[in-house]
Chain A
Amino acid sequence: MTRAVAGDDRYGSAASAQVLIAREPEPRDDSSPLEGGLERVCGAAVRALSASGAGISVMTEDGPPGVAAASNPTSRLMEEMQFIVGEGPCMDAFALRRPCLQPDLDDSPRDRWPGYTAGALEQGTRAVFAFPLQIGGARLGVMAIYRDYPGSLRPEHLALALGFAEAAVTMLLNGQQQAPTDEVAGGLGEALEYRSEVYHAQGMVMIQLRVSLAEAMVRLRAHAFAEDRRLAEVAREVVTGRLCLPTNGA
């Protein structure tokens, strides 16, 4: 059942985002499945949110940040610029672990991001909406939506943007385990599966396997995927001590 037409239904926005991503054209042959998937997210976001561009950068606790996907050259430039000047909405979204929504760069305090703001306006970007790609303490990157005109995101657009961010998180987690990136069917059901027990299991696996929190979720999902079981079930077994994931990956 597709109840999902571009974000007119705030309750189905995660599903809507999945449907819109699936409608995007196949990625170029030379891109990896992960890059291709993320580019489709950017493309779908631009179309659905009346944006001029979108970009996804990978940012983690350790290791240098990098641009993973962008909808067009200007967006790629915007993504790269923030790393050069070392400031901007994406950097803040990552550091503060929350969205950083800037509906009018021309009307924001200049001292917040002097270098970034000047550069962005020069590129014709007026509004930036940055969403952290994270699950609790596990940080994977930031998705940015760019517009060449000022103004807030409408609530339904906001819900949809969060749906796109969620899809990007799933892709980044899957990308790390080399699983298929196209998970249209799994979308919403899986989102509802993220309950406290899954997070408890994630914390436990992090300690058991001495891996990062993000990697712990990758391992949990990989196990569920390989055994064709639900993430919540696997999590419950970990929490009750009936299952101990192997140390060497899936």
Chain B
Amino acid sequence: MTTIPAERLADVFVQVADTLVDEFDLIEFLQMLTGRAAELVDAAATGLLLADQQGNLQFMAASDEDTKMLELFQLQVHEGPCQDCFRTGQPVTNADLGAAADRWPVFAPRAVEAGFGSVHAIPMRLRTETIGALNLFSDRAGGLQPDGMHIVQALADVATIGLLQERAVHRGEVMTEQLQSALNSRIIIEQAKGAIAQIYTVTIDQAFQLLRGYSRRHQLRIGDVARALVTDPASIPNLTAV
């Protein structure tokens, strides 16, 4: 069983707290969180889904955002560990994908095909309500140890707090405004990927790399760059510019 060094753990939580006090961008925050979660528990991929106000799970962020992963996250609006986790409010851990074809007839075979052995989903809970799930994929069966499990639950709790910006939770309106804003930002990023793929004749995955690379080099939020791009493609003439 691998043990996670305390200092590494502390670093992650400091970084998370730092993001929370900084000028806050939900998508960016969740991307950071899914990335750190993947590193900490050695998951092959992680993603985060939130329920919209119609009760449909929507993909928000992932440690690895290629189209194959995106599909595995999006499928779970119908079936899969996140759907189960969201419905019951209980975690799904170490579900063996090779033996899950009955449980998730569409999701399980696709996840196996993508090279995964097991899958986990940790609920994001606010009081009694489940608002989404953190999804982890492991290369092999099993894969998530008890200490890893606790850390991931802690990260999911932090994500929930970040999403709701704790202080403002008593005003339900703010939560709705935030959630709807994040859902729409996510759509803008997808639209921007399409536009970039067309402009630069690259794949959707390469388009995302270009978008993220540019945002990082220029220390801009990915959501802001995506929005500028879909509003006026000429406003960002060269994404490959340093």
Contacts and interface: CB of A to CB of B under 8 A. Distances in A.
Interface of A: 10-11, 13-14, 61, 96-103, 132, 134-138, 152, 155, 158-159, 162-163, 191-192, 194-196, 199-208, 213, 239
A202 B184 contact: no
A129 B3 CA distance: 50
Contacts of A61: 231
Given A196-B190, A199-B190, A207 B59 contact: no
B198 A137 contact: no
Given A99-B176, A99-B177, A100-B177, A136 B184 contact: yes
Interface string B191-229: 111111111000010000000000000000000001100
B187 A192 contact: no
A207 B190 contact: no
B88 interface: no
B90 interface: no
Contacts of B188: 136-137
A201 B187 CA distance: 12
Q: Among the interface residues A100, A102, A196, A203, which one has the most CB atoms of the partner chain B within 10 A?
A: A203
Interface residues of B, number: 37
Contacts of A134: 184
Contacts of B173: 101-103, 152
The 3 A-B residue pairs whose C-beta atoms are closest, nearest first, are A203-B194, A136-B187, A199-B190
A203 B180 contact: no
Contacts of A96: 181
Given A98-B180, A199-B187, A10 B198 contact: no
A106 to B, nearest CB: 16
B44 interface: no
Contacts of A159: 53-55
A203 B198 contact: yes
A203 B74 contact: no
B151 interface: no
B172 interface: yes
Contacts of B194: 199-206, 239
B227 A192 contact: no
Nearest to A208: B198
A200 B197 contact: yes
A132 B74 CA distance: 24
Interface string B65-90: 00100100010010000000000000
B109 interface: no
A14 B54 contact: yes
A163 to B, nearest CB: 7
A204 B197 CA distance: 7
B86 to A, nearest CB: 11
Contact of A97 (B181, B193, B197, B204): B181
Given A101-B173, A204-B198, A199 B54 contact: no
Given A99-B176, A136-B230, A206-B195, A200 B53 contact: no
B61 to A, nearest CB: 13
Interface string B47-61: 000001111100100
Given A136-B184, A196-B190, A204-B197, A101 B54 contact: no
Nearest to B55: A11
Q: Among the interface residues A96, A99, A136, A206, which one has the most CB atoms of the partner chain B within 10 A?
A: A136
Given A98-B181, A159-B54, A208-B198, A203 B230 contact: yes
Contact of A137 (B53, B74, B180, B191): B191
A158 B54 CA distance: 9
Contacts of B191: 136-138, 199-200, 202-203, 206, 213
B233 interface: yes
B180 A99 contact: yes
A54 to B, nearest CB: 18
Contacts of A201: 194
